[in-house]
Structure 1
Amino acid sequence: MIHKVKGWHVFLGFAATFGVIIAVNLTLAYQAVATFPGLEVRNSYVASQSFDADRAAQIALGWDVRAEVTHDTLRLFIREEGQPVAPTIQEATFGRATSVAADQTPDFVFDGTAYVAAVEAGPGNWNLRLKMRAPDGTLFQQRVIVAHVPS
């Protein structure tokens, strides 16, 4: 038996195809907005007014900062001219780059070489967002990409 393709068949095909495309786009847009960690600063114009001075002060400290995680232990190394430095950590957030769902606040302890904290870190990209104060009062803020050290 031969079926004729009528106008309403074509319309239903187009409607179904574009319906699926629109539904997928709306789902992806919702997920992108729902998982976005948020703003870095409340007012970017105000933050930009002191950016150059803040950056110069931070660079003048001469700190080399890096972090690594091994077996759910986060180690934060802060060096000045090759020597360990122990500034006051005001804020530290360990989490994913694209979502705040797994964010953790590490409880750092300085062991003489590095700050050490227990964290729950699975595979993938992790960041450590830091705000620290130097002994002279200079604010140091940085987002550090955390290296995974093989077990």
Structure 2
Amino acid sequence: MTREFTGWHMLGLMLAMFGTIITVNLWFAYNAVATFPGVEDRNAYVASQKFEIERQAQDALGWDVTSRLEDGILSVTIKDAAGQPVQPQVDRAIFGRPTHVNDDQTPAFVWNGTAFTAPVVAGKGNYNLRLELIADDGTHFRRRFPLRAE
């Protein structure tokens, strides 16, 4: 005996489908908000007023800064305009995923004579190194370096 497909069956099917879609969307929205790292600056206008002055001071240093991630070793090389290694003070360094702060690490950089190196835990994928250095003249140097671990 065959059962008849009624309007109640169609209503149940539609409620199940749309209920699933709405539930998944709410779950994604919750996770997007719950893992958002937050604001960079409390007052963006004040930060924008200092940005150009700070950028010019950083550019005046003439540094060529590169970062590399190979086999769990993060290295940062800093050279002056003459190509000589520079050893500024590392004020702050954060290594982590670009999308969330759950796996952020603070690398313990060691100067090896030509570069700063630090072991980090990195699975495959994209990472950011947010680096803040202080030059000998007191100039703050800030950069974000996108990195990829294979």
Shared topology, TM-score over 0.5?
Answer: yes
Q: Measure, in 1, the Cα distance between the counterparts of 2:115 and 2:84.
A: 10
The offset of 1:95, in angstroms, is 0.8
Aligned position for 1:100: 101
Q: Measure, in 2, the Cα distance between the counterparts of 1:133 and 1:97.
A: 24
The offset of 1:38, in angstroms, is 2.4
Paired letter, 1:47 = A
The offset of 1:42, in angstroms, is 2.2
Aligned position for 2:73: 73
Aligned position for 1:31: 31
CA deviation map 1:24-60 (0-9, x unaligned) = 1111112222222222222212211111111111112
Q: Is the 8 A contact 1:67 1:147 kept in 2?
A: no
What SS does structure 1 have at the residue aligned with 2:125? coil
RMSD: 1.6
Greater RCO, 1 or 2 (C-alpha within 8 Å, sep 6+): 1
What SS does structure 1 have at the residue aligned with 2:8? helix
Identity over the aligned pairs, expressed in percent?
Answer: 52
Paired letter, 2:123 = G
2:4 pairs with 1:4: yes
Q: Is the 8 A contact 2:87 2:111 kept in 1?
A: yes
Aligned position for 2:60: 60
CA deviation map 1:92-134 (0-9, x unaligned) = 0111111111111111111110001121122211111011111
CA deviation map 1:73-96 (0-9, x unaligned) = 211111122221111111001111
Aligned position for 2:113: 112
The offset of 1:147, in angstroms, is 5.0
TM-score, length basis structure 2:
0.90
Aligned position for 2:139: 138
Aligned position for 1:44: 44
Gaps spanning 5+ residues in structure 2: where? none
